[in-house]
């Protein structure tokens, strides 16, 4: 188990996740087609040549999923009970095929569960940066976490 128990987190704690990921055309094609998103923004290189971006944009659903997914091993793997929600999901800059993303996670809040004495809620802010250190995505996430077992 790589994740942390509720008691092992602290507000202000920052994780600079060592796993980085270069986005491929296949990543973008699969998420767009699997989710039935046919927009030319993600699938039509000729259409996008004349856009302000000049190339295909990576589907933001992939960026969000990758950002949270990369964080899991260092934070919640094996210790999460449930993801309670995402708030303030933002994409301040575009992500392109070939970009390499690095992720950092900050603990911004914690509280004991009122209804589950063996669990607590940890609030994270996840941030994704491209290879030029430009912030390309962020979100707040609440995770219901297990407390360390007695003994």
Task: Give the pTM.
Answer: 0.94
DSSP secondary structure string for all residues of the chain: --S--GGG--TT-EEE-S--EE--HHHHHHHHHHTT---HHHH-HHHHHTSSSSSPBPPHHHHHHHHHHHHHHHHTTTTEEEEEEEEEEE--S--BTT-EEEEEEEEEEEEE-SS-TTEEEEEEEEEEE-TT--EEEEEEEEEEEEPPPP-
| pLDDT of residue 2 exceeding 90 | no
* Topology, domain 6-146: Thiol Ester Dehydrase; Chain A (3.10.129)
pLDDT of residue 1: 55
Domain ranges of the chain: 6-146
pLDDT, tens digit, for every residue of 136-149? 999 999 999 999 98
């Amino acid at each position: 188990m790589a994740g942390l128990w509720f008691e092992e987190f602290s507000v202000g704690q920052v994780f600079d996740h060592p796993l980085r990921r270069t986005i491929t055309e296949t990543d973008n094609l699969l998420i767009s087609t699997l989710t039935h998103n046919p927009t030319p923004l993600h699938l039509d290189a000729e259409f996008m040549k004349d856009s302000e971006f000049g190339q295909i944009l990576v589907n933001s659903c992939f960026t969000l999923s990758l950002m949270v997914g990369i964080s899991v091993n260092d934070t919640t793997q094996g210790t999460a009970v449930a993801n309670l929600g995402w708030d303030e999901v933002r994409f301040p800059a575009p992500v392109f095929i070939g970009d390499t993303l690095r992720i950092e996670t900050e603990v911004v809040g914690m509280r004991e569960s009122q209804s589950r004495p063996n669990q607590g809620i940890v609030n994270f802010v996840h941030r994704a940066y491209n290879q030029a250190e430009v912030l390309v995505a962020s979100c707040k996430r609440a995770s219901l976490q297990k407390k360390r077992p007695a003994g």
